[in-house]
Amino acid sequence: TLGLLEAVVRHKDAFRPLFCSPPQPLTADALDQLFDIRYSTAGSNKRAEENTIVAFWRDYLLDAE
């Protein structure tokens, strides 16, 4: 490893920008984008229920923010 691990351990603050993104606040929008919603067929009873659930989920995220 050419001493890379030891260098990273010794100088962790110098290497932090290379391995870690700067902290970002966790917003409702960012959390919502983590999920890919796969809906049932449009017009079906199941789709109507899914729409209601997604609306409740997004309301919850906004309230939690």
11-57 pLDDT, tens digit each: 999 999 999 988 889 899 999 999 999 999 999 999 999 999 999 99
Q: Is the dihedral of CA 38, 44, 46, 52 positive or negative?
A: positive
pLDDT given for residue 65 in this prediction: 87
In a domain, 16, yes or no: no
pLDDT given for residue 1 in this prediction: 66
In a domain, 18, yes or no: no
In a domain, 10, yes or no: no
In a domain, 41, yes or no: yes
- Domain of residue 61: give its range: 25-65
In a domain, 3, yes or no: no
In a domain, 33, yes or no: yes
Domains in the chain, number: 1
pLDDT given for residue 3 in this prediction: 92
